[in-house]
Chain A
Amino acid sequence: MAMKTSQVPWNKEIALERIRACLDQEGPLLPILHALQEEFGYIDEAAEPLIAEALNISRAEVHGVVTFYHDFRRAPAGRHVLKLCRAEACQAAGGDPLAAHAEARLGVEMGTTAPDGSVTLEPIYCLGLCAVAPSAMLDGRLVGRLDQARLDALLAEAQQ
């Protein structure tokens, strides 16, 4: 989902509120995790026992689900999140050198956050923009037909 760039710090009361708001849904665990990540930007470890109690399942089960899905963060992301599509269609359209360029320019490896907390660089496997490849998403904004100039503009924006 589109990441909000400004989330509130972890807060147990707000977390419980968001959890409770999902409880009338069938299969509420994923909606709960999405809600918490939307609120705080990541799933705090302290959320796991709260969810486990609310759903009457074990903490291990909650932990297992949180860690199964790529989307759920265990720690806050950088102020900006730049996702580069690394799937086949974008590879075919020149995505590999662009990804290498982004890593070099930001000085971070794919999947990590810059030490100054400015930006998290992540691979994403298909934004469905395969006919305007290569593509990227900066904080929820989509960019297609990526070339070095467009990528440089995104990188500059992400480093702010």
Chain B
Amino acid sequence: MTLRLYIPRDAAALAVGADEVATAIRAAAARRNVAVEIIRIGSRGLFWLEPMVEVATPAGRLAYGPVAPTDVDGLLDALLRDGMHALGLGPTEDIPWLKRQTRLTFVRCGIVDPLSLADYRAHGGGRGLAKALALGPDATIEEVLQSGLRGRGGAGFPTGIKWRTVAQAQGPQKYIVCNADEGDSGTFADRMLMEGDPFVLIEGMAIAGIATGATKGFVYIRSEYPHAVAAMQAAIVAARQGGLLGKTIAGSAFSFDMEVRVGAGAYVCGEETSLLDSLEGKRGQVRAKPPLPAHKGLFGRPTVINNVLSLASVPIILDKGAAFYRDFGMGRSRGTMPIQLAGNIKQGGLFETAFGITLGELVDDIGGGTFSGRPVRAVQVGGPLGAYFPRALFDTPFDYEAFAARDGLIGHGGIVVFDDTVDMAKQARFALEFCSIESCGKCTPCRIGSSRGVEVIDRIMRDEKRAANLEVLEDLCNTMKFGSLCALGGFTPYPVMSALTHFPEDFGAQPRLQAAE
């Protein structure tokens, strides 16, 4: 009998010892003369339980975790006996944290061997592409439009409209560009997907190519994700061999091929126009719009530029139909959102669910509060450019419009939890400092405003003309918000102003403010 085990190869699992556990299992099995087959998979996204080891049984997979190399001998003995072990979590699919989710985009992540096209197809992969080929370009775009899918990168622009614009644009060459330069702290969904189910992104890009008439795609991945880069590169080679990419995709008359490009550590390249400039081999500077990338994008050609999660959601939309996807969610936020729980959190990880769940449910109930055991004081939603929310706003439902109504944004769906030791003035200062370092320099409000902002906050913290400087800070934030060319300068005021609004005491509002006046 061969024992079949599943161990993640996801970067976060590797960072907490997944390779060491796999090595220890092989050694322990050899000592016992037991045959084991170890399949390296993506992560299920329950990171506080990583490294999580799963074993195949006739009744499905059973999970154990978090497993340390020192647990391996005992675990292997237990697996050879009756499977009972202190680290046992029961059937993986029944773990409540996983069971509560609606996994559409991440349906295969943590289940399949990410580099096996056969495994991908055995788990429903490729059906979206087949449907798109059967429907033809116009009806494919209509499906995406009807699904209500909005850009998962943060701006929330309807994906179908972007595609239609490119389909209608004229040009000798069109491109599909995947923005995999997710640089927001607290987010890791793109990374997990590229490492855990890279073929779904390839399939989504191929469908976008068929729908819009683009024959070439680029996936621009940030250099901070070397494992995702390697997984995508290997998957593209396998996809070419398997006919998912190439001159005649899936035996059709459509041609589409793609390649990986690696970023070079510039945060601003997550902004779509600066990403295009970077791909062209220039400094990653933001372009003024119009022209829209859909008309004049990469190398001046009509270009679809979508985020990883947007493109990776397309195959299931085509496969199951627009109505199936649209039925999840609330208001104008349709479908599911892979939400990422991070920072000082007890149960951190990826939680894909329909829009509408409240912030409080996510942080307290699903996340289990802080890892440090101290009270949650603030959460930053949507990355470095997202607002800090206090507990008083925990009834906010996860929805593009609901967050906007409270001067926040859901961005890429990352939630970073802070306990009561956080200094919110320091966080506000960091937001401005980060902006000043990462500003591409093209527009003045962002380039100069961020540097002046740091100086102003420093003066406030030194109690120098506090009231006057608070006014300057607010004015500066308004200038940045309304005068910047892109979201870097335009959204940096969100963390700054939300910290100031919700946590004025950290800026010395009382008692020092009273004393000063």
Interface residues, chain A, with chain B CB atoms under 8 Å away: 1-2, 25-31, 33-34, 55, 61, 64-65, 68-72, 87-94, 124-133, 135, 140, 142-145
Q: Once the chains bind, are B266 and A69 in contact (CB under 8 Å)?
A: yes
Q: Is B235's CB within 8 Å of the partner chain A?
A: no
- Decide yes or no whether B449 CB sits under 8 A from chain A: no
In the bound complex, residues from chain A placing their C-beta under 8 Å from that of B479 are none
Q: Considering the chains assembled together, what is the distance between the CA atoms of A94 and B344 in angstroms? A: 8
B500 within 8 A of A: no
Q: Are A131 and B188 in contact (CB under 8 A)?
A: yes
Could you list 30 A-B pairs, sorted by A, with CB under 8 Å?
A: A1-B223, A1-B229, A29-B281, A30-B278, A31-B261, A64-B283, A65-B283, A68-B283, A69-B263, A69-B265, A69-B284, A71-B223, A88-B186, A88-B343, A88-B416, A89-B185, A89-B416, A91-B343, A91-B427, A94-B372, A126-B184, A128-B191, A128-B192, A128-B228, A129-B188, A130-B185, A130-B343, A133-B342, A140-B226, A144-B12
Contact between B265 and A130 (Cβ–Cβ < 8 Å)? no
Indicate whether B92 reaches chain A with its CB closer than 8 angstroms.
no
Interface residue? B203 (CB, 8 A): no
Q: Is the CB of B430 within 8 A of A128?
A: no
Q: A132 touching B384 by the CB < 8 A rule?
A: no
**Would you call B323 an interface residue if the criterion is a C-beta within 8 Å of the partner chain's C-beta atoms?**
no
Give Cα distance in the complex from A68 to B418, angstroms: 32
Count chain B residues whose beta carbon lies closer than 8 angstroms to a beta carbon of A: 64
User: Which residue, A2, A55, A132, has most C-beta atoms of chain B within 10 A?
Assistant: A132
B416: contacting residue among A31, A71, A130, CB under 8 A: A130
Q: Are A130's CB and B261's CB within 8 A?
A: no
Binary contact readout B262-278 vs A (1 if CB under 8 angstroms, 0 otherwise): 11111100000000001
- The answer for the CA separation of A130 and B184 in the assembled complex, in Å, is 10
Is B340 positioned at the interface, with any CB of A under 8 Å from its CB?
A: yes
What 9 additional pairs, Cβ within 8 angstroms, besides A30-B263, A31-B261, A71-B265? A27-B280, A29-B281, A68-B283, A71-B263, A87-B186, A90-B343, A128-B190, A142-B11, A142-B14
Q: For A28, what are the chain B residues with a Cβ–Cβ distance below 8 Å?
A: 281
Q: Let me know if A88 and B380 touch, CB within 8 A.
A: yes
- Assuming the contacts A87-B185, A88-B427, asked whether A142 and B265 have C-beta atoms less than 8 A apart, the reply is no
Closest to A68 in B: B283
A33-B264, A34-B264, A130-B416 given; A135·B422 CB < 8 A: no
B499 nearest CB across to chain A (Å): 12
A65 to B264, CA, bound (A): 10
Compute how far the CA of A34 lies from the CA of B229 in the bound complex, rounded to whole angstroms.
13
For A2, the chain B residues whose CB sits under 8 A away are 226
Given contacts A70-B264, A90-B185, A140-B226, contact A131 B48 (CB under 8 A): yes
Assuming A2-B226, A92-B416, A133-B343, is B185 touching A125 (CB within 8 A)? yes
Q: Which of B262, B299, B419 contacts A26 (CB 8 A)?
A: B299
- Cα–Cα, bound, A124→B259 (Å): 25
Q: Taking the complex as formed, is B371 at the interface, i.e. its CB lies under 8 A from any CB of chain A? A: yes
Residue B348 CB within 8 A of the other chain? yes
Q: Which of chain A's residues have a CB closer than 8 A to the CB of B223?
A: 1, 71
Q: Is B50 part of the contact surface with A, judged by Cβ < 8 Å?
A: yes
Q: Could you tell me the distance in whole angstroms from the C-beta of A122 to the nearest C-beta in chain B? A: 10
Q: Which residues of B contact A140 (CB under 8 A)?
A: 226
Per a CB cutoff under 8 Å, which of B47, B183, B422 touches A92?
Answer: B422
The verdict on A125 contacting B434 (CB below 8 Å), with A92-B416, A132-B16, A132-B50 known, is yes
CB distance from A51 to the nearest CB of B (A): 10
User: Is the beta-carbon distance between B343 and A124 smaller than 8 angstroms?
Assistant: no
Q: Is the CB of B186 within 8 A of A27?
A: no
Cα(A135)–Cα(B16), bound, Å: 10
